[in-house]
Structure 1
Amino acid sequence: MLRIGDISEKGPVVSLTTKSSEVNTLFENYPHLEGIVVAVENKPVGLVMKAQFYRKISSKYGFDLFMGRPIELVMDTTPLIVDYYDEITKVSSHAMNRSQEKLYDYVVVTRQHELCGIVSIKNLLIKLAEIQVNKAMYTNPLSGLPGNVLIEKKMLDYLSNSNQPFSLLYIDLDHFKEYNDIYGFNKGDLLLKEISSILSKVILNMELSNTFVGHIGGDDFVVILPHHGFHQICQLIITEFNIRLKHYYHETDWKNKFIYAKDRNGQHNKIPLVSLSIAVVTNQHTQYLTIDEISKIAANVKKECKKHVGSCYICHDAIKPNCCEKETIITH
């Protein structure tokens, strides 16, 4: 998370009693200066932007009225003031929602209520563009969900904190290849987008802030929960999937609960409708040291899931390596 304070910079500061003529001198001596913060005991109370300053000074009687008097008569008393630790995206949203006349004003940054610096809109937009480029580099272009680099980073964050409980849900679509063969890749892509929508709805909109949803690639997704209460979440995912899946089949196929397609051996067979296999790995009983450990266990549990007809989830019990805690939900 990038904080607004990370891109703040120092700028000139004046007091309430500073005369407008002195501010004028600062603007004349530093042509690239866009604004000046007004502070009392290092606490920001106002902002003077060059364009607005000269607009007031150049108005009828403005020069005579303001130039020899304190800057507090000219300054904006309600600038956008944010905390050092506020997220850049959050601050940019506030900045862009200001009135037109304030749209390009500095953002004033404080830490513990004291002046820390300013951020120009130009620098804010540049940094936002960088964030968007980086996000595009590390997200799956189809689903828009974080890809493998960010998935690995999130897992390492959990593994580095042995006190943080987690449940990893490795989600795979069964019979997706055959679906693509019959309905086409465009429809298949739409189904994958539907899965990402379901996960975002169930996980990101209903769960804790530290949850994570990622797209490994193809028809493989991952969810990380900051607790061991995965049962209800898995059930919600499967229920929501079943509701939406109907719209991706012709009426006849949906009623039959199968399609005719070539299986992986090249033989035409009745192929079940697409279903979900959710392999669950938690650190409730075992602390894992590497991502590779978790990946191998998840892969084995996924094989168990695929033995079941319809969607199901299975949780691996690390205390008994040869035993799995099973919860099967038939959705077709």
Structure 2
Amino acid sequence: MSIVIGDIAKECITVDPSTKCQNVYSMFEEKTALEGIVVVSEEKPIGLVMKTHFFQKLSTKYGFDLFMNRHIDLVMGDELLIVDYSIPITEVSSLAMNRKQENLYDLVIVTKQNHMYGAVSIRELIMKLSELQIRIARYSNPLSGLPGNNVIAETLQEVITYKRFSVFYIDIDSFKFFNDTFGFREGDEIIKETAVIISDTIQTTDNEPSFIGHIGGDDFIAVIPHYHYEELCKEIIFRFDRYIMRFYTEEEIERGYVQGINRQGILDNVPLVSISIAVVHNKQYPITSIEQLSREAAKIKKRCKNITKSTFLALTE
């Protein structure tokens, strides 16, 4: 799964609202690398003093004399980006970059259970995000751009520790026949479009933290941290079925199959390309290993294969 902001948050210097500006000035003078100080009341962040903004105020005419003996709450910034420890850094990055220009480089304040936890500088956030993107790119499937088996294995190892999760094992039925009939270029287009459909459906705010991976060929995997999988499966199927119709004639769509040579080399009625989704979750009983997860998925996928149209089945169905 994606790295959460709490993983990179660091302890930061905090002061209470009644701290004198001269004391804050001394802190910045002593610690030259210090970017900002968080103002905290009852263990909750209420303000932020960024060094650049603070010194700008002091440098105005009479600013030094006006503020030095006043409380810091008079000059602190109150437009804060406060995020929970568990928010993925990709989501935090998006929130940070959408701030006003004057607040773009402010510290991101991190809380845990609504109490002050730490802070992350924009530099640290961008560096970690870049590391993550490089790592994902290194292990991504070149066709879909989605993470491959190394990242998938690591992710699933983490997922089975979650209190709630649903894992989607997704594959495209009759894909080999489609490739043999229409050519690999069209087959590649289906793979790429399927990746887009799954990603667009799964990776929404309601499903965070989520994960999409490409096992290989026409097999994909997706993870959500809850049990609301039915509508997501229906949406994936609806969009896939609508997309796939462009490859067939009206007559073939009406029949529901095309004639061609099957894997045994015999002329056969082959079903139209469809998508199957096997869902494994830990709602009824615990899933404690990747091997157990794979075994359950294999059982459900086998049942899906007996259905000649796009479908989804879950562990208890």
TM-score where L is the length of structure 1: 0.69
Structure 2 SS opposite 1:8: coil
1:134 aligned partner: 135
Q: Deviations over 1:30-53 (max 9, x none)?
A: 222222233345443322212112
Q: Shift in Å at residue 58 of structure 1?
A: 1.5
Report if the CA contact (8 A) 1:175-1:273 is conserved: yes
Matched, 1:216 2:215: yes
Contact 1:38 1:47 (8 Å CA) reproduced: yes
Contact 2:165 2:223 in 1 (8 A): no
1:125 corresponding residue in structure 2? 126
Letter in 2 for 1:95: A
Alpha carbons of 1:113 and 1:270: their partners in 2 closer, same or farther (altered >3 Å)? closer
SS of corresponding position for 2:32: coil
Q: Deviations over 1:80-111 (max 9, x none)?
A: 33333433333323222221111111223334
One-letter amino acid of the counterpart of residue 242, structure 2: I
Q: Give, in whole Å, the separation in 1 of the partners of 2:79 and 2:315.
A: 57
Is the CA contact 1:57–1:63 (under 8 Å) kept in the aligned structure 2? yes
- Is 1:74 equivalent to 2:75 in the alignment? yes
Task: After TM superposition, give the deviation of residue 123 of structure 1 in Å.
Answer: 1.0
Structure 1 distance, partners of 2:226, 2:47, is: 45
- Are 1:253 and 1:259, in contact at CA under 8 Å, matched by a contact in 2? yes
Task: Give the aligned residue type for 2:309.
Answer: S
Q: Secondary structure at the match of 1:46?
A: strand
Letter in 1 for 2:219: D
Residue 117 of structure 1 aligns to a residue in which SS? strand
Q: What does 1:1-332 align with in structure 2 at a 5 Å threshold?
A: 1-153=2-154, 155-156=156-157, 170-200=169-199, 213-222=212-221, 237-249=236-248, 273-276=272-275, 291-292=290-291, 295=294, 310-311=308-309
AA of the residue aligned to 1:246: M
Q: 1:119 to 1:183 in 2, by over 3 A?
A: same
Q: Secondary structure at the match of 2:45?
A: strand
Structure 1, unaligned stretches of length 5 or more? 319-324, 326-332
Q: Are residues 229 and 44 of structure 1, via their aligned partners in 2, closer, same or farther at CA, if it must alter by over 3 Å?
A: closer
**Using the alignment, how far apart are the partners of 1:273 and 1:57 within structure 2?**
72
C-alpha distance in structure 2 between counterparts of 1:260 and 1:105, whole Å: 63
| CA shift for structure 1 position 205 | 6.2
Instruction: Indicate conservation of the 8 Å contact 2:194/2:240, yes or no.
Output: yes
Indicate conservation of the 8 Å contact 2:164/2:227, yes or no: no
Q: Which amino acid aligns with 1:75?
A: M
Give secondary structure in 2 for the equivalent of 1:196. helix
**Residue-by-residue CA offset, 1:286-332 (whole Å, 9 max, x unaligned):** 98776556656766876776677x436597999xxxxxx9xxxxxxx
* % identical equivalent positions: 44
**Residues 169 and 279 in structure 1, CA contact (< 8 A), matched pair in contact too:** yes
Q: Deviations 1:236-260 (Å, cap 9, x if unpaired)?
A: 6555433221223477876887778
**Shift in alpha-carbon separation, 1:34–1:191, aligned structure 2, 3 A:** same
One-letter identity of the residue aligned with 2:192: K
Aligned-residue CA RMSD in angstroms? 4.5
Provide TM-score, normalisation by structure 2: 0.72
2:49 & 2:227 partners in 1: Cα distance?
Answer: 53
Distance 2:56 2:209 in 1: 48
**Contact 2:44-2:116 within 8 A present in 1 as well:** yes
